[in-house]
Structure 1
């Protein structure tokens, strides 16, 4: 009822997949649009977090050293990945063939007669292009992404290239493991990888480095976790957001996701079930405490890359280790620290069931909208209201918001009847 059940997760995945198909179709063969992260996994409510979108240029391919360039169509520009001087999981892109127009102003000389592609310049080119094409205006760059706001939805747009790196994927696939099963491993390998425009934070050449990512493969892995593992990840995200509260993303949901993936790989699936959930929550928090103490957490796909290689101060480290130690000593009562869980316990059963039934129905109405009307096209609100009127959903949306408002008015004397704000209630319910 909190919005993380199997059916609702599946509904979210289906709607975002269809939205991606429609947005990709708008660009023909030039660009592929893929939703990744918590939205693609079905683990985020409509406005709970940003929508992470990868935009892939199909006229450019990247290949690692040793790969045959002749297997790539002649009309595709090719960059060779150079990992020799970069931190694990990062690379330089050296031009091997062609001259892609979209990359023209991001090219530079490496000082040895080779042309390479600057990650920082490439992002800046897309930022300027957004102004020229009068599209959504990006905010300040955040890592590899250009954040934009469309309507009430925040998008993190990442402009990336597909990369062919069979040796990295085969090293991952050949590991001894309990999970995932062989068919899932094969599917993840077939999905390949991407390079995204961001370098290693401490590197002198970070402005020209690119990060190797496996966004679609990681989505596939998350979809194939069992129900207890999914709930473990959801609880860890709540702890990160509501208890640890990092100010500068020193502890991200991505770090917590990697902890869950390592636990799933190293332990039999039969050990993850409803009755063992709090045991695994304790194990995951122990792993996080060790990672903070050592400033070391291997990336699940490329273990040589350290996800904890951030600017973590000793004060922050001591504070979080102390908090985690206190939580581990609380046992099952640990979940009372989480506002969403605590509110559910206090209001259960009638008010809780009444409200969440309406909140889930409201989210499904909005998911149907994004499935049938691409959000990145034209005026967001005009598209939304035209869609709702055409399908007769506007009245139901207003009824749900008004029902919630009346409940607030009856139970809280500070509200008055003239304060009904449908948009405010709608956004609060979906966050």
Structure 2
């Protein structure tokens, strides 16, 4: 099986070539957007950029765009003038890794009180929230000139076999990440150097609510994609091949029984 996987495109040279290509594409995208004066940064994630796929798996290309004109706040001290400011909200009833975004004004450090944009909604307690679902609808509408767009999870894509996610940076330390780092400390894997890099790596908020939540249309999911990529890049080739085999088993066997209830992310976890 090890040799068959090498012949199928899961050998070390092919895996590293895939990674180099997608990191190169990220760099080109960054340079191109800087020259155009765009406020977005692009990241490639998923199987294609990890090198954990073969032609038979028919993996999508995953790209995430993050806007630098948006300021995500973990507390009121993070507010910045002349930027779109959103405060992360959660309580005991909020599902894990899910947040609501309260809208703050750009001119003064006060919450927005009016529904001044079509993508804003009002919560039961009167707070003005940035709706993840309405934002995806707005992106889909804005792309109508390039062709029909498809919504799938947090993705709104107009390209076949592409998952395009528009998200926001969260640059402040978050308890979910630090709790995970504390649990992993002192173990052989992940190495200490990776955990230190994870402490300062930004996370993202992607527009995806929990299916059982009362606020699933408004919720945003915390997504530590950069940390996940570091972990995948630290795998050795035996682990990479093992993961690819799990995905083949899922695609050829489990998917016929449970559909898409088991994903490649479950295999990875």
> TM class by shorter-chain length?
0.7 to 0.9
Of 197, 212, 216, the match for 1:206: 216
Instruction: Encode CA deviations 1:221-257: one digit per residue, 9 max, x unaligned.
Output: 1010122211111111111011212553111000010
- Higher-strand-fraction structure: 2
Partner of 2:169: 162
> 2:58 & 2:239 partners in 1: Cα distance?
20
1:87, 1:200 within 8 Å by CA — same for their partners in 2? yes
The answer to whether residue 117 in structure 2 is matched with residue 104 in structure 1 is yes
> 1:30 & 1:165 partners in 2: Cα distance?
23
The answer to whether residue 32 in structure 2 is matched with residue 26 in structure 1 is yes
Of 146, 152, 156, the match for 1:135: 146
> 1:33 & 1:117 partners in 2: Cα distance?
22
Q: How much does 1:48 deviate?
A: 2.0
1:8, 1:42 within 8 Å by CA — same for their partners in 2? yes
For the residue of structure 2 that corresponds to 1:92, the secondary structure is: strand
Partner of 1:173: 181
User: When the two structures are aligned, how many residues end up with a matched partner?
Assistant: 246
Q: How much does 1:67 deviate?
A: 6.9
> 1:116 & 1:169 partners in 2: Cα distance?
24
Q: How much does 1:135 deviate?
A: 2.8
> 1:242 & 1:197 partners in 2: Cα distance?
30
- Higher-helix-fraction structure: 1
> 1:185 & 1:60 partners in 2: Cα distance?
27
> 1:22 & 1:68 partners in 2: Cα distance?
35
Partner of 2:16: 10
Greater Rg by CA: 1
The answer to whether residue 207 in structure 2 is matched with residue 194 in structure 1 is no
Q: How much does 1:59 deviate?
A: 0.7
Instruction: Encode CA deviations 1:353-412: one digit per residue, 9 max, x unaligned.
Output: xxxxxxxxxxxxxxxxxxxxxxxxxxxxxxxxxxxxxxxxxxxxxxxxxxxxxxxxxxxx
> Could you list the runs of 5+ residues in structure 1 that have no partner in the other structure?
259-431
Partner of 1:56: 66
Higher mean alpha-carbon deviation, 205-214 vs 176-185, is at: 176-185
> 1:12 & 1:74 partners in 2: Cα distance?
41
Q: Go from structure 1 to structure 2 and tell me whether the alpha carbon gap of 1:190 and 1:6 turns closer, same or farther (over 3 Å shift).
A: farther
> 2:82 & 2:16 partners in 1: Cα distance?
38
Partner of 2:110: none
Output the TM-score relative to the length of structure 2.
0.84
1:195, 1:212 within 8 Å by CA — same for their partners in 2? yes
Q: How much does 1:136 deviate?
A: 4.7
> 1:76 & 1:168 partners in 2: Cα distance?
26
Instruction: Encode CA deviations 1:266-285: one digit per residue, 9 max, x unaligned.
Output: xxxxxxxxxxxxxxxxxxxx
1:162, 1:192 within 8 Å by CA — same for their partners in 2? yes
Partner of 2:240: 230
Partner of 1:251: 262
Q: How much does 1:43 deviate?
A: 1.5
Q: Go from structure 1 to structure 2 and tell me whether the alpha carbon gap of 1:155 and 1:225 turns closer, same or farther (over 3 Å shift).
A: same
Q: How much does 1:208 deviate?
A: 0.5
Partner of 1:148: 158
Q: How much does 1:87 deviate?
A: 0.4
Instruction: Encode CA deviations 1:78-101: one digit per residue, 9 max, x unaligned.
Output: 2111121310110101123429xx
2:53, 2:244 within 8 Å by CA — same for their partners in 1? no
Partner of 2:127: 114
> 2:153 & 2:215 partners in 1: Cα distance?
15
> 1:26 & 1:75 partners in 2: Cα distance?
25
Partner of 1:76: 83
